[in-house]
Chain A
Amino acid sequence: MKVVILGCGRVGATIAATMAREGHEITIIDRNPDSFRRLANDFDGKKIIGNGLSEETLQKADVEHADAFVAVTNGDNRNIMSVQLAKVRFKVPKVVARIYDPIRSSAYANMGIDTICTTCVGAGVIHDKILGKPYSAVEEYCQFGLDDKVLEAGND
């Protein structure tokens, strides 16, 4: 698979290194070249320095030929905007955005964007671990702790 990853933080670097080792063709983008130090020494993918919200950078990363685009920067809104850019402008078939804010994550999931709310997933897994409960599916964890009242906010 040809995968482009935006954001070389801990999560981005881990996905990049693992998938490269599995034989996938990986390109990783970060605006700060220092971030690439997190990549494993044997990482043989492409590294691109640039702003993931600019079409030029995504073009440089050859996003238009990617099978998947993953946005894991520290900014929820950056991730949301860049996956929409990849999806709408570059027609990438599979896009995934990591979103910390549970509400934003579920709102964009409803709009048809694949989102992972690591806040909810982390909280849910810890919750089940403490109580000794069997683990659930990621989709269920993505809803963990979400209050219906909050979800329906604005309809009052």
Chain B
Amino acid sequence: MTRKTPMYVIIVGGGKVGYHLSKALTREGHEVLIIEKDRKTAESLIGEFGETIMYGDGCEIRTMTEAGMGRANVVVAVTGDDEDNLVICQMAKSKFGVPRTIARVNDPKNEELFQQLGIDQTVSSTRIIFNLLEQQIETGQVIPLAALKKGEIEVVEADITTTSPAMGMKIGQLDLPANALIISVIRDGHAIIPHADTKLRAGDSVITMIKAEREKELRAIFTGEEQE
């Protein structure tokens, strides 16, 4: 990867997220300042980070000015309170013209609101973890890989096993739901672009693009599970 121009990044909130983010950005050569309003937390961080820690309330204009927010390329608000993260980003934008603001959203329901209110990016760890878990516990060997068009279209992965109805069949013979498109077949670690004559074998993974509401029909074909 090519080295990018170093940025000045202000992180508000010296918790675990702020701590690790700061370490990573510093390692990549960026200038970082953490603002932390809890004195004890700030003091313990100063031991490790030195002058790149500032003790103060990141919502206060005095602290923001002192931190040199006017020249920050990015402001990241990662406190545990959504209302504070919102105000930090809005003030950074309106008072200091910070070009890029990123807010951590503790309650995933706030993501859309924050975007409507002008925050450039939101990060919800709850939602990320939830999505990962959901993929892990998805039953029936059909795993959603991505959602397009606000979830209307899904890209799913299905494993072909010896009990799959589709095992040994040519793609052209499959009775696929309308508008389903097989994009790729993963075989022995390689992605192949299939055609109507491609025969499915046990151990194949089939990547299909499909309308979300028809995923269950697809599951029945590939894994043999009864439709609910």
Q: Interface code A79-104, partner B: CB below 8 Å = 1, 0 otherwise?
A: 01100110011000000000001011
**Which residue of A75, A110, A111 contacts B83 across the interface (Cβ within 8 Å)?**
A75
Q: Which residues of B contact A104 (CB under 8 A)?
A: 59, 61, 87, 91
In the assembled complex, A137 has its CB within 8 A of some CB on chain B: no
Which of A53, A110, A111, A153 lies in contact with B65, CB distance below 8 A?
A153
Q: Inside 8 A of A77's CB, which chain B residues have their CB?
A: 59, 81, 83-84, 86-87
The count of chain A contact residues (Cβ–Cβ below 8 Å) is 25
CA distance A81 to B83 in the complex (A): 6
Bound CA span A154–B113, Å: 26
Q: Given contacts A55-B109, A81-B82, A103-B61, is CB(A110)–CB(B94) below 8 Å?
A: yes
Contact assessment for B60 and A101 in the assembled complex, using a CB-CB cutoff below 8 Å? yes
A154-B70 contact, Cβ under 8 Å, with A54-B109, A77-B87, A81-B87: yes
- Which A107-135 residues have C-beta < 8 A from chain B? 107-108, 110-111
Q: Is B195 an interface residue (CB 8 A)?
A: no
Closest residue of chain A to B61 (Cβ to Cβ) is A103
Contact with A along B59-82 (1 / 0, CB 8 A): 111101100011000000000011
Count of A-B contacts judged by CB separation below 8 Å: 66
A111 to B91, CA, bound (A): 10
Q: Which size class do B's interface residues fall under?
A: 20 to 34
Which residues in A have their C-beta under 8 angstroms from that of B117?
Answer: 84, 88
Shortest Cβ distance from residue B189 to the other chain A in the assembled complex, whole angstroms: 46
Contacts of B223 in A (CB 8 A): none
Q: Which residue of chain B is the closest to A52 with respect to CB atoms?
A: B83
Q: Which positions 3-28 of chain A face chain B at CB distance < 8 Å? A: none
A78–B113 CA distance with the chains assembled, in angstroms = 14
B90 part of interface (Cβ distance < 8 Å): yes
Complex contacts, A76 vs chain B, CB 8 Å: 59, 87
Taking A77-B86, A89-B116, A104-B59 as given, write out 5 further A-B residue pairs in contact, using a Cβ cutoff of 8 Å, ordered by the A residue number.
A81-B87, A88-B117, A107-B94, A107-B95, A154-B69
Q: What are 16 inter-chain pairs, A to B, with CB distance below 8 A?
A: A55-B109, A77-B81, A77-B84, A80-B86, A81-B86, A81-B87, A84-B117, A85-B113, A89-B116, A104-B61, A107-B91, A107-B94, A153-B95, A154-B61, A154-B64, A154-B69
Residue positions of A touching B, CB distance < 8 A? 53-55, 75-78, 80-81, 84-85, 88-89, 101, 103-104, 107-108, 110-111, 150, 153-156
